[in-house]
Structure 1
Amino acid sequence: MYLSRVEIDSNNRAKTRDLTHLGAYHNWVEQSFPAEIAVHERLRHLWRIDQLGGRRYLLVLSEEKPDVEKLATYGVQGTVMTKAYDHLLDQLHEGQLLQFRLTANPTHTITVPGRKQGRVVPHITVEQQRQWLIDRAERAGFSLIQNVAAENSDGAPTWSFDIVGREWPTLHRRAGRGVRLSRVTFEGLLRINDVAAFKETLTQGLGREKAYGMGLMTVIPEA
């Protein structure tokens, strides 16, 4: 697998004028793999938008290397970087502490009278969104760490992660219609409990709307 990054040329409005909704970013990612398009075989590509030091980056995780020129379509010239991801995956082990960053779409399902299937709705509050990640950690192969020595104002222990971004970007699913999705970015510290499950989380994503910039978790070893 490969992890690629390109700085979005946000200062060039003429160049990035098409990037007005999540579908446009999704199309950018898909067009960066012309070999898949040619054989009508679309593989899953996890991606997200990062904001670091006042700059915006597109980050893409894929099984194959993207086309450099296509990935640079809306990017700053010379900023495309692609690195092999398998080495990091091979170094993971149970009990390992890692710093993580995750952009996700925290949701839950509510019962709708008269309907067999429930309705998926976003979590709204910070507390709900934090709990969403806590509830999914074990099944995703990791644990979030409680700091029992430090307490919140309500006396509850603090956790080793926080929410660093909350947005409502637009997705145009149909012509003339747009929906707003909850996009939440988490950062913090985790411990691997189940290596196989955790690798699946890293490579397959966590939560819903993976095609539209949600679900990608990246990690670096804790110093």
Structure 2
Amino acid sequence: MYLSRVEIDVSDRHKTSGLAHLGAFHNWVEQSFPEEIAAGKRKRHLWRIDKLAGKKYLLVLSESVPDLKLFTKYGIAETAITKSYDHFLDSIREGQLMQFRLTANPTYTVSQPGQKQGRIFPHVTIEQQCQWLVKRAEKSGFQLVEQEMVDVPGAPTAKDFKIISRDHPMLHRKAGRGVRLSRVTFEGMLRVANVADFKQTLTKGLGREKAFGMGLMTVIPEA
């Protein structure tokens, strides 16, 4: 596995004018793997948009290395980097504490009489979206960990995670009208509970709409 990142050139509106909806970002990611296209074997690539220190990045997790020239199509020259993810995955141990960031599409399903598949609805409130993550933690191989505010005497215990952004980006599908997806980014602390399940979460994603920038969780081990 490989983790790749490029800084998006937000200062050049003409260059990035094509990135008007999630489908355009999806196409950018897919086109960055020309060998897969040529072989007719498309693989799922997890990705998300990160905003850090006033800059905007495209982050991609993939089984193979992207073509860095194509990967930089909407990015700033020479900012594209790729690192092997396998060594990190092999180093994960049960009980390990890690900081995490997850961009996801929190949803729930309502059963429909006479239909095999239920109808999908987005969670709307912050409480609902937080509960969505709480309910999925155990099956995903981790526990959410509360962090004590030890720097302030007598301060209450902080929450185990928080939502740092919520929005509804547009997605234009090939057929039908465009739709807006619920996108939520969480940050916090976790403890690895089941190594195999946790690795599955990191490499396969969490939740729906993975092709459109949701589901990618990244972590940084506590020293």
1:100-126 CA-partner distances (Å, limit 9, x unpaired): 000000000113345442110000000
Per-residue deviation at 1:222?
A: 1.2
Question: The residue matched to 1:137 in structure 2 has which SS?
Answer: helix
- Higher mean alpha-carbon deviation, 79-88 vs 110-119, is at 110-119
Question: Given residue 110 of structure 1, which amino acid in structure 2 is its aligned partner?
Answer: V
Question: The residue matched to 2:49 in structure 1 has which SS?
Answer: strand
Structure 1: how far apart are the matches of 2:149 and 2:30? 46
Q: Match for residue 162 of structure 2?
A: 162
TM-score (norm 2): 0.93
Give the 4+ runs in structure 1 shifted more than 4 A: 147-150
Q: Match for residue 33 of structure 1?
A: 33
Q: How many residues align?
A: 218
Per-residue deviation at 1:174?
A: 3.0
Question: Given residue 42 of structure 1, which amino acid in structure 2 is its aligned partner?
Answer: R
Question: The residue matched to 2:165 in structure 1 has which SS?
Answer: strand
Per-residue deviation at 1:160?
A: 1.4
Any stretches of 5+ residues in structure 2 without a counterpart? 151-155
1:48-88 CA-partner distances (Å, limit 9, x unpaired): 00000111100000000000000000001110010110111
Question: The residue matched to 1:108 in structure 2 has which SS?
Answer: strand
Q: Confirm whether residue 5 of structure 1 aligns to residue 5 of structure 2.
A: yes
Q: Match for residue 192 of structure 2?
A: 192
Question: The residue matched to 2:127 in structure 1 has which SS?
Answer: helix
Question: Given residue 106 of structure 1, which amino acid in structure 2 is its aligned partner?
Answer: P
Question: Given residue 18 of structure 1, which amino acid in structure 2 is its aligned partner?
Answer: G
Per-residue deviation at 1:5?
A: 0.2
Q: Match for residue 135 of structure 1?
A: 135
- Higher mean alpha-carbon deviation, 170-179 vs 208-217, is at 170-179
Structure 2: how far apart are the matches of 1:197 and 1:92? 11
**Alignment RMSD (CA, Å):** 1.8
Per-residue deviation at 1:157?
A: 7.2
Per-residue deviation at 1:147?
A: 5.6
Kindly indicate whether the alpha-carbon contact (under 8 Å) linking 1:2 and 1:63 is maintained by their aligned counterparts in 2. Answer: yes
- Which structure dedicates a bigger proportion of its chain to strand? 1
Q: Match for residue 24 of structure 2?
A: 24
Kindly indicate whether the alpha-carbon contact (under 8 Å) linking 1:144 and 1:159 is maintained by their aligned counterparts in 2. Answer: no
Pair 1:149–1:73, CA change in 2 (3 A): closer
Question: The residue matched to 2:74 in structure 1 has which SS?
Answer: coil
Any stretches of 5+ residues in structure 1 without a counterpart? 151-155
Question: The residue matched to 2:172 in structure 1 has which SS?
Answer: strand
Kindly indicate whether the alpha-carbon contact (under 8 Å) linking 2:48 and 2:60 is maintained by their aligned counterparts in 1. Answer: yes
Structure 2: how far apart are the matches of 1:90 and 1:165? 31
Q: Match for residue 70 of structure 1?
A: 70
Instruction: Report % sequence identity.
Output: 65
TM-score (norm 1): 0.93
Pair 1:158–1:34, CA change in 2 (3 A): same
Q: Match for residue 92 of structure 1?
A: 92
Question: Given residue 222 of structure 1, which amino acid in structure 2 is its aligned partner?
Answer: E
Question: Given residue 2 of structure 1, which amino acid in structure 2 is its aligned partner?
Answer: Y
